[in-house]
Amino acid sequence: MKWIVLLGLVAFSECIVKIPLRQVKTTRKTLSGKNMLKNFLKEHPYRLSQISFRGSNLTIHPLRNIMNLVYVGNITIGTPPQEFQVVFDTGSSDLWVPSFCTMPACSAPVWFRQLQSSTFQPTNKTFTITYGSGSMKGFLAYDTVRIGDLVSTDQPFGLSVVEYGLEGRNYDGVLGLNYPNISFSGAIPIFDNLKNQGAISEPVFAFYLSKNKQEGSVVMFGGVDHQYYKGELNWIPLIEAGEWRVHMDRISMKRTVIACSDGCEALVHTGTSHIEGPGRLVNNIHRLIRTRPFDSKHYVSCFATKYLPSITFIINGIKYPMTARAYIFKDSRGRCYSAFKENTVRTSRETWILGDAFLRRYFSVFDRGNDRIGLARAV
């Protein structure tokens, strides 16, 4: 995560829970029924409302938009429950909140009081998580975690005791929604625990991120609500199961390729505010839209946003255009700056991170059952 991330089943509305808040030369290899279905679904995109979620429970949980930079939602931990505001992050896998900490970076207004929870179980295991702009060190524990009406018992989670680079943040902790294999703590993520305990009927979650409004954003578990998007969902297979990473064809402006010219990789991360990519290519985009660098941002005239061209991301053959109003942010003083930012993490392949700036425009579905991501134009 980079710090600074109803229902298509009208006929089954009684199941909704609304919460206020993925060539053989001579012989053909026989596939199992499960594999045949999986291959079929990857080759023939389907509407979730038609196939996947008949009779499923859909839990919709509200998120709060903080200046278009981070989206937070409430969870509770412990018995009796203690409330925390966390970022629901598809870029990481661990859940953690602050424990007692005296360091200046431990600036969260609340911390978990373990002695007040009758279901708290500590461990001796310590771990460290490194994010793009900071890190935390803590220890692993177990307790009951609730996301609205969803309850995960004996849920492993982290308690931070040392934090670096996280000063002044607008949230208490992080709830990771990536695959288990990238967990820093080695603990089972809460989504997997909820699935294993039968709390959600389908291994799917989705995001709708509002623009400029504090309210209206949601994360949904166990299904998809079609009123949050237009048209059909376009399905993108993951490069491999284990991370929300897809192949991107190219990035263009005015029908000219400006990045990802030979194909590249894209991470879809709700915990990242911007669109991040290699510095050389991000600088080229800034040159094309004529930004002026100042401090760590690249500014542009707010008036120019009416005339700047769209930038289009082509993924799995589908065009996802972003207008200037989508890729230009406005700071607290009303100045406009670019949502494109250099990714300082070096990779062997050209890699982009599609963060909240992209996901505000496109409703996103994360399908663990089929190892793919669905995108559609958000309402």
| Arithmetic mean of pLDDT, 231-252 | 97
Confidence of residue 63 (pLDDT cuts 50, 70, 90): very high
Q: What is the pLDDT of residue 43?
A: 43
Residue length, the chain? 379
Check whether 270 has a pLDDT greater than 90: yes
Confidence of residue 30 (pLDDT cuts 50, 70, 90): very low
pLDDT tens-place string over residues 173-189: 999 999 999 999 999 99
Q: What is the pLDDT of residue 363?
A: 98
Name the CA radius of gyration of the chain, rounded: 21
Distance (Å, whole) CA 74 – CA 146: 9
Q: What is the pLDDT of residue 168?
A: 74
| Arithmetic mean of pLDDT, 6-13 | 26
Higher pLDDT, 356 or 105: 356
Q: Which residues does residue 351 pair with via DSSP β-bridges, in sequence order?
A: 265
Q: What is the pLDDT of residue 105?
A: 55
Q: What percent of the chain has pLDDT over 70?
A: 83
pLDDT tens-place string over residues 93-138: 999 999 876 556 555 568 899 999 999 999 999 999 988 778 899 9
Check whether 19 has a pLDDT greater than 90: no
Check whether 14 has a pLDDT greater than 80: no
Check whether 154 has a pLDDT greater than 70: yes
Mean pLDDT for all residues in the chain: 85
Distance (Å, whole) CA 280 – CA 151: 46
Q: What is the pLDDT of residue 21?
A: 28
From the number of C-beta atoms within 10 Å of its C-beta (0-12, 13-18, 19+), residue 314 rates as middle
Q: What is the pLDDT of residue 57?
A: 79
Q: What is the pLDDT of residue 159?
A: 95
Check whether 31 has a pLDDT greater than 80: no
Q: What is the pLDDT of residue 166?
A: 78
Distance (Å, whole) CA 262 – CA 312: 15
The set of residues, in sequence order, having a beta carbon less than 8 Å from that of 120 and lying 6+ positions away, is: 78, 114, 141, 142, 143
Distance (Å, whole) CA 176 – CA 275: 19
- Number of Cβ within 10 Å of residue 317's Cβ equals 8
Check whether 22 has a pLDDT greater than 50: no
Check whether 28 has a pLDDT greater than 60: no
Q: What is the pLDDT of residue 9?
A: 23
Q: What is the pLDDT of residue 131?
A: 82
Q: What percent of the chain has pLDDT over 90?
A: 73
Q: What is the pLDDT of residue 104?
A: 60
Q: What is the pLDDT of residue 16?
A: 34
Q: How would you label 35-57 residue by residue, b for 16+ Cβ within 10 Å and e otherwise? A: eeebeebeeeeeebbeebbeebb
- Indicate the range of 105-119, 231-245, 326-340 predicted with least confidence: 105-119
| Arithmetic mean of pLDDT, 299-311 | 95
Distance (Å, whole) CA 344 – CA 114: 37
Distance (Å, whole) CA 145 – CA 166: 23
Confidence of residue 269 (pLDDT cuts 50, 70, 90): very high
Cβ–Cβ under 8 Å, residues 91 and 345: no
Q: What is the pLDDT of residue 102?
A: 59
